[in-house]
Amino acid sequence: MTIIIQKVETEDINPVLDIWLNASLQAHAFIPAPYWQQQLIAMRDLYLPLSENYIIKENHTVLGFASLLRSEQVLAALFIDPAQQGKGYGVRLLNFLKQQCEQLHLNVYAENTSAVQFYQKQGFKMTSPGIDQNTGHAELGMSWCRP
């Protein structure tokens, strides 16, 4: 089993979008599903092109991805296929990005407690509460700095 992390290529876009939608629906059940379905085109045409996108693959299968806004050191997205969660792929992707950045910042929905706990375990500290303008749900700003 060879696990690789690499930049997203054209043929990876559809698996990335599938993972994003399925993981978003699962992790954010507190937001109505049509919201996520309506965001799919913006994700493909706006958000992904603005970011540096990396996938984690095993045996040519995309298992998850991360999107980095490098100039702002913002982790814009980290999603693992729901069927593959809990197997360490998210930690591997995050460690890959931590090797390249002095610090990382992100926002996560407060109601997504498993993600909040995941980031805390990975050394992220809460910085500021806020409200996501698109959904009206509470979110938490979190940051990690290289020791």
Separation between Cα atoms, residue 143 and residue 104, nearest integer Å: 6
Separation between Cα atoms, residue 147 and residue 144, nearest integer Å: 9
Task: Look up the CATH number of the domain holding residue 119.
Answer: 3.40.630.30
What per-residue confidence (pLDDT) applies to 24?
Answer: 96
Contacts of 16 (CB under 8 A, 6+ apart): 8, 48, 53, 55, 62, 65
Helices and strands (DSSP H and E) totals, the chain: 5, 7
pLDDT in tens, the chain (147 residues): 799 999 999 999 999 999 999 999 999 999 999 999 999 999 999 999 999 999 999 999 999 999 999 999 999 999 999 999 999 999 999 999 999 999 999 999 999 999 999 999 999 999 999 999 999 999 999 999 998
Dihedral, CA atoms, 120, 122, 126, 129, nearest 10 degrees? -80
CA distance from start to end of the chain: 32
What per-residue confidence (pLDDT) applies to 147?
Answer: 87
Question: Which structural domain, as residue segments, surrounds residue 135?
Answer: 3-145
What per-residue confidence (pLDDT) applies to 119?
Answer: 98
Q: How far is CA 52 from the centre of its chain?
A: 12
What per-residue confidence (pLDDT) applies to 57?
Answer: 97
What per-residue confidence (pLDDT) applies to 76?
Answer: 96
| Number of domains present in the structure of the chain | 1
Cβ–Cβ < 8 Å for 31, 89:
no
